[in-house]
């Protein structure tokens, strides 16, 4: 099976995860892809194929080397983002992209314009997999799954390539920050691993945001508006006041590179009760802690304005910067760079402006840099996947495995 066909089969599954369902996987529909993949891995001939009660799928490619080779792992996630529908994805392949604005849906007037998405120009002449403009595509991270499975298939059919044992895993709920929570690092049994969950061709990432979620509950007092003076506390107005106190230009739409931010996700309520939900991000640990304190101070300021405690903050750390766990093992990044150069890919080391399961796994004892999966403009209808990037990412998995054995 060609990797494109494999990828297209995966995006036919709706695997959108969901916040606050209180179960793992967070949505039952993720099981459909998990069971499909389990059977596919068994049919390929992988060993130790196991789908556990939490929806985590593990499998082993046995080593064929006569010498001891470290067991390494490759990981991707099955869910797609809650930000955009992944139901009834209708992908199509644009052959030999010509460099012009890309019409996704003529009837609805949905167009990926070069002015807005200039990264399209880096892929002129390539075949691109796109959506019909009504859903996301799901390359994040079904491209990663396809690349890993294709690499396993290739190695099984090319026993002349010497390699050590390889473990693979596909997990649910990465998009809601829970992908690594039930990942069994001990059972996985690797010294290190790689997530295939990055973006553009050539990306290697071993730095990411420190991340926290904040929920601020505001309790108001409802009184008839005609007699409210000195009595009413309008919770939704107080929530708006707190939201306005966040730094105006420290938001996702105004920041880049190593700049952190506050991101207001939702604000809802009425006179009696309101809730704000936001996320906090920063690569630097000290600035990260300062940002969390800023939110606490903003709530304290609101309480002072009201003359009594009306705002309660719940802060939850989600993940930390994996750099401190990966840097002591520089060879795991150097092997990726060497493999890329061998395949004619220019390595692009960059910091993730987000998170990945690899960050949490690194702090669970499994150092886990992130490698490109090839897609761009994730989490929305303008997502696209260049086929050459998909193919090269899979070839890279094979080359990393090969080099790991050669260096053992």
Give the span between the Cα atoms of 387 and 4, in whole angstroms.
7
Inter-CA distances, 346 with 3, 115, 128, 242, 338, Å = 22, 25, 20, 45, 10
Going edge to edge, which strands form the sheet with 128-130?
Answer: 92-94, 128-130, 384-386
User: What does the alpha-carbon distance between residue 41 and residue 156 come to, in Å, rounded to a whole number?
Assistant: 11
Distance, CA of 249 to CA of 333 (rounded, Å): 34
Provide φ and ψ at 342, rounded to 5°.
-65, -25
User: Following DSSP, what letter does each residue of 23-64 receive, concatenated?
Assistant: SSSSSTTHHHHHHHHHHHHHHHT-EEEEE-TTS-EEEEE---
- Known catalytic membership, residue 162: no
Give me the catalytic one of 14, 140, 173, 174: 174
Q: Minimal CA–CA distance to 1: which of 154, 170, 156? A: 154
For the question of residue 79 being annotated catalytic, the response is yes
Given a contact cutoff of 8 angstroms between Cβ atoms, the answer to whether 236 and 230 are in contact is no
Q: Please choose, from the candidates 319, 313, 264, the residue with its C-alpha nearest in 3D space to the C-alpha of residue 288.
A: 319
Instruction: Specify the residue for token string 């600035």.
Output: 287
Token pair 């099981």: residue: 31
Determine which one of 79, 173, 205, 357 is catalytic.
79
DSSP string, 168-186: EEEES-GGGT-TTTT--HH
Q: Rounded to an integer, what distance in angstroms lies between the CA atom of residue 395 and that of residue 375?
A: 16
The label of the residue with tokens 């840099």 reads 369
Longest dimension (CA), the chain: 86
Which residues are marked as active site?
A: 79, 174
């Amino acid at each position: 099976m060609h990797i494109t066909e494999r990828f297209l089969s995966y995006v036919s599954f709706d695997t959108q995860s969901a916040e606050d369902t209180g179960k793992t996987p967070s949505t039952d529909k993720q099981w459909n892809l998990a069971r499909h993949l389990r059977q596919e891995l068994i049919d390929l001939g992988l060993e130790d194929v196991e789908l556990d009660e939490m929806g985590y799928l593990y499998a082993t490619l046995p080593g064929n080397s006569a010498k001891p080779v470290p067991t390494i792992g490759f990981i991707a996630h099955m869910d797609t983002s809650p930000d955009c529908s992944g139901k009834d994805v209708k992908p199509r392949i644009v052959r030999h992209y010509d460099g012009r604005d890309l019409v996704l849906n003529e009837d609805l007037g949905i167009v990926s314009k070069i002015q807005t998405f200039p990264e399209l120009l880096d892929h002129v002449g390539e075949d691109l997999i796109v959506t019909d403009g009504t859903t996301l595509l799901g390359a994040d991270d079904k491209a990663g799954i396809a690349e890993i499975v294709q690499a396993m298939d290739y190695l099984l059919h090319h026993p002349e390539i010497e390699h050590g044992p390889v473990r693979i895993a596909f997990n649910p709920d990465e998009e809601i920050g829970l992908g690594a929570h039930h990942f069994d690092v001990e059972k996985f049994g690797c010294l290190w691993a790689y997530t295939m969950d990055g973006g553009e061709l050539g990306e290697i990432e071993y730095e990411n945001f420190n991340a926290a979620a904040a929920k601020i509950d505001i309790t108001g007092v409802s009184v008839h508006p005609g007699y409210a003076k000195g009595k009413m506390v309008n919770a939704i107005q107080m929530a708006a006041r707190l939201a306005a106190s966040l730094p105006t230009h420290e938001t996702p739409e105004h920041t880049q590179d190593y700049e952190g931010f506050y991101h207001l996700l939702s604000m809802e309520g009425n006179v009696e009760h309101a809730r704000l939900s936001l996320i906090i991000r920063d690569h630097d640990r000290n600035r990260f802690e300062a940002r969390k304190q800023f939110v606490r101070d903003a709530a304290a300021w609101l309480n002072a304005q009201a003359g009594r405690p009306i705002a309660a903050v719940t802060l939850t750390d989600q993940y930390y910067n994996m750099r401190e766990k990966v840097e002591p093992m520089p060879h795991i990044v150097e092997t990726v760079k060497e493999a890329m150069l061998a395949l004619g890919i220019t390595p692009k080391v960059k910091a993730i402006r987000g998170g990945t399961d690899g960050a949490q796994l690194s702090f669970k004892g499994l150092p886990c840099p992130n490698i490109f999966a090839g897609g761009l403009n994730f989490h929305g209808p303008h997502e696209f996947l260049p086929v050459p990037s998909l193919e090269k990412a899979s070839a890279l998995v094979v080359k990393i495995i090969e080099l790991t054995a050669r260096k053992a």
